[in-house]
Amino acid sequence: MIESNTTEPNGKLEDLVLNVLHEIGEDPKRDGLVRTPHRVAKAYRHLTSGYGVDIDKLLNGALFEVIYDEMVIVKDIELYSLCEHHMLPFYGKAHVAYLPNRKVVGLSKIPRIVDAFARRLQVQERLTQQIAETLMEKIAPQGVGVVIEARHLCMMMRGVEKQNSTAVTSAMLGTFRDCKETRDEFLTLVRGRE
């Protein structure tokens, strides 16, 4: 997409960014900031594009009848999101598994589901749960397990300023919650990624 050459804000979000620049004491007319309201608005629209995703359209019928009852895992799915408390990024990896119940989903759909929920203002705990519940609802497997490991810039750049801390969250549904062996197999396979 080609950016317009206009230097004037052309929308509410651009106007708000312009106001932020004024409020922090910057001169929005200086060379490096002239296009900043447009660029920031464009970035936020992309980073929050998950609000407009229809999961059914995303899946696009990519459910397939298959006789397979072993665990399916897609791990190390890169994710980027914005914390809803400070609107600062958090980033990391999601590990997603499910036990099929006569149906499997196209493998590329799992990272797309992760992105659909990550590209919203989030807390990591809710993000983890939304991914698990969506897979449980849409493909009706025997169970779903999701683990997310992420670093939060709101902890690294401000507040406690801890550079090496990682937050780990999990959601276990169906057999992943009810069966210790299934849960342990998933966690062992995720840990074995290095």
Residue 95's alpha-carbon distances to 27, 55, 74, 163, 188, in angstroms, are 44, 19, 6, 23, 12
**Which one-letter DSSP state was computed for residue 29?**
T
Beta bridge partners of 16: none
Q: Are 79 and 147 in contact (CB under 8 A)?
A: no
Instruction: Give the span between the Cα atoms of 128 and 112, in whole angstroms.
Output: 14
Q: Are 157 and 88 in contact (CB under 8 A)?
A: yes
**Angle value at C-alpha 91, between 23 and 58, nearest 5 degrees:** 105
Single-letter code of the amino acid located at 127: L
Catalytic residue set: 83-86, 124, 152, 154
Q: Which two tokens stand for residue 77?
A: 């799915």
